[in-house]
Chains A and B, each alone.
Chain A
Amino acid sequence: MTLRTYIVRRLLVLVPTLFLITLIIFVLIRLAPGDPVTILIYSSRKQPSPEIIEALKKELGLDQPIPMQYLLWLGKLLRGDLGYSYVSFQPVSEMIAIRIGRTLELMLVAEVVSVGLAVVLGVICAVKHHSLTDAVFSLGALIGYSIPSFWIGLMALLVFSLRLGLLPSFGVQTKGVSFSLFGLWFDHLKHLILPAAVLIIGYIAYLFRLVRSSMLEVLRQDYILTARAKGLKERIVIYKHALRNALLPVVTYEGYSIGFLLGGAAIVETVFSWPGLGKFAVDLALRRDYPPLMALSVVIALMVLLGNLCADIAYAIVDPRIRYD
């Protein structure tokens, strides 16, 4: 199979997957207790007349049979109409737009710091295999990997914010204080440290293990032996010959990491009241505000799917040995 057929095939899998996910999301939420009209009425103060209820049902398409409702919803989604909240009556696309940046910011910081540190440490530990440094960092990674992120988040909150008062405990900006431009930026940075650090702990532990084991495997190969036998400097052997190949799985993993980071972000955002998509989704589910939740679920699913797709394609491109089936 050529690369092109592989990509086409991978895209073809994407369509039924997305279809199935929208179906699952729709069915799950339709199963949920409380129909939209009741929720809508609940949030208004006066008890509306039956005519208004009927009109509402008609407007929302709830008088249609369920499969029809699904198709109507899907059609709206495809046209980019995400609907509006039954609680705040804001358009969902607007609600998502103001939050997505916050989540991406958190993910980007976690990504950059984790990749940078994980590659450096992973290479050092692989080169000094079986040394004390290697043992310490490997155990450290296993520990980082085993720490429940929300718990360490709570503990960090307790120690650094509530007890020591070093860092703010919630939000993205201190309210009610006027700052200079630099002060504003610095204040935001202080808010960012704890959530980012918690998100990084689990991620870096995983990435470090990936880099280290991948590097170890590459260093064992014959071409490295050849490079050394040629009399190349060790630095060149490691950074020019070995690292390039060792980074292949790391590069491709970045795509898969979107789902991982989004899940982690939901938890971290909830701990630190960070106004991003993850916390938004959790709040919507708790409030049973379903239209935005459905739309947001599809958006998140799409982000994860596209990330996975990029990862698969990147993997096929950079590593020709991959068997496409």
Chain B
Amino acid sequence: MVSRLSVELKEETKEVHRPSKASRLYVTLRKLKKSRLALVGSAITLLAITFALLAPVIAPHNPQQMFYGEEMLPPSSKFLFGTDTGGRDVFSWVIWGARVSLYVGFAAVAIELLIGCSIGMIAGYFGGITDEILMRLTDIVTNFPELLLLVLAVSVFKATSIHIIVLVMGLLGWPFMARVVRSEFLSIRETTFVEAARSMGAGSWRIILRHILPNILSTIIVLVTIDIPSYIFWESALTFLGFGDPLSPSWGVLIDRGTSYLTAAWWITAFPGLALFFTSLGFNLFGDGLRDALDVKTSV
């Protein structure tokens, strides 16, 4: 959500002449390869995703397993990131935490996409009064104080669930996506190929989904890439403030568990935080590189 502030769309007409799909992919990959930072970013991102998918295989121990007499041990060869107060392996927790944290990022972004894209497409394509109403709604939601509403929404439920956090974040996070999609639709709907499709009898939805949407995929991908870490951030911050779901061990929950033992066992807090930091850095580096490679017109 923070990153949404960070990308300000330039409302200028984009050139819509583009090479074919295959060569577009090729050009993108070649440009991405040139940027070393983007490569590092994608490597980190892939690593985090691999951890999330293969957690049971990669984690050396069962994160729930308590090693009696080995509580709060500093990092060693047996326990790479040390053990927590219950004698559990922090490294294994961090790997399993990738699952929860990435779920948070991807699921919240999926909700954002669903709402933001739909509203942006409809407003941009149909224009007129529809556009007016949808954009005023977008204005209203943009103005919502996000953290405050998150805290309120989460605190009213007796038992906090990670799914509710994800849902609320997605419900609050879509306005920027809607604005970007709308403005892209505004410019593309005036192009000749859309006119050609229309003259051949294509219906509105066919034009929206088959002719215009594929042309703005790159913009959407870039936005999604930089939004994922911000959702992961918000969830962890919310957890730290005391409104998380303690039963879903995301990196935020893991960091929070260690805060009372900061002096005695810094590793319980430090390593999940590092995982969070590197994942976020990975997504941001990748998103930055992708934006340059795809030549998406967003400033910052």
Where the two chains meet, the residues of A that have a C-beta atom closer than 8 Å to any C-beta of B are 13-14, 16-17, 20-21, 24-25, 28-29, 31-33, 139, 142-143, 145-152, 154-155, 157-158, 162-163, 202, 206, 209-210, 213-214, 217, 249, 253, 256, 259-260, 262-263, 266-267, 270, 281-282, 285-286, 288, 293, 297, 300-301, 304-305, 308, 323
Contact = CB atoms under 8 A, between A and B. Distances in A.
Interface in B242-292: 242-243, 255, 259, 262-263, 266, 269-270, 273, 276-277, 280-281, 284-285, 288
Contacts of B147: 262-263, 266
B128 to A, nearest CB: 12
B152 interface: yes
Interface stretch (B76-84, B136-144, B198-206): B136-144
Contact of A158 (B5, B240, B266): B266
A8 to B, nearest CB: 14
A304 B147 CA distance: 11
14 contacts: A21-B145, A28-B156, A33-B156, A142-B288, A146-B284, A148-B273, A151-B236, A155-B270, A158-B266, A209-B300, A262-B147, A267-B237, A285-B151, A285-B155
A266 B242 CA distance: 12
A145 B140 contact: no
A142 B148 contact: no
B97 interface: no
A158 B261 CA distance: 10
Contacts of B276: 148, 151
Contacts of B273: 148, 151-152, 154-155
A289 to B, nearest CB: 11
A235 B158 CA distance: 61
Given A20-B140, A285-B155, A146 B255 contact: no
B19 to A, nearest CB: 25
A40 to B, nearest CB: 19
A270 to B, nearest CB: 6
Q: For the complex, would chain A's binding face be called helix, strand, loop or mixed by DSSP majority?
A: helix
Contacts of B285: 142
A51 to B, nearest CB: 30
Contact of A267 (B37, B241, B259, B280): B241
B46 interface: no
Contacts of A151: 236, 255, 269, 273, 276-277
Given A148-B276, A282-B151, A285-B152, A304 B143 contact: yes
Contacts of A209: 6, 300
Nearest to A303: B145
B209 interface: no
B38 to A, nearest CB: 11
A38 B240 CA distance: 28
B281 A162 contact: no
A114 B229 CA distance: 23
B11 A32 contact: no
A282 B241 contact: yes
A325 B151 CA distance: 32
A281 B300 contact: no
Q: Is the interface of B mostly helix, strand, loop or mixed?
A: helix
Given A158-B262, A267-B241, 4 more contacts: A32-B155, A145-B284, A146-B229, A285-B151
A266 B234 CA distance: 12
Contacts, number: 141
B25 interface: no
A305 B141 CA distance: 11
B71 interface: no
Contact of B281 (A146, A155, A267, A282): A146
B284 A25 contact: no
B198 to A, nearest CB: 24
A210 B284 contact: no
A142 B284 contact: yes
A249 B8 contact: yes
Contacts of B240: 150, 267, 270
A111 to B, nearest CB: 15
A202 B148 CA distance: 19
B237 A148 contact: yes
Nearest to B149: A24
Contacts of A202: 2
Contacts of A152: 273
Contacts of B144: 17, 21, 301
A89 B147 CA distance: 27
B148 A297 contact: yes
Given A25-B152, A33-B158, A158-B262, A148 B5 contact: no
A249 B148 CA distance: 26
A245 to B, nearest CB: 13
B6 A304 contact: no
Enumerate the 4 nearest inter-chain pairs by beta-carbon distance, A residue then B residue, closest first.
A151-B273, A263-B147, A146-B281, A32-B156
A260 B152 contact: no
Contacts of A210: 6, 299-300
A135 to B, nearest CB: 9
A13 B5 contact: no
Considering residues B148, B152, B277, which has the most beta carbons from chain A within 10 angstroms of its beta carbon?
Answer: B148
B148 A143 contact: no
B241 A213 contact: no
B146 interface: yes
Contacts of A282: 151, 241-242
B233 interface: yes
Contacts of B255: 148, 150-151, 154
B153 interface: yes
Contacts of B233: 148
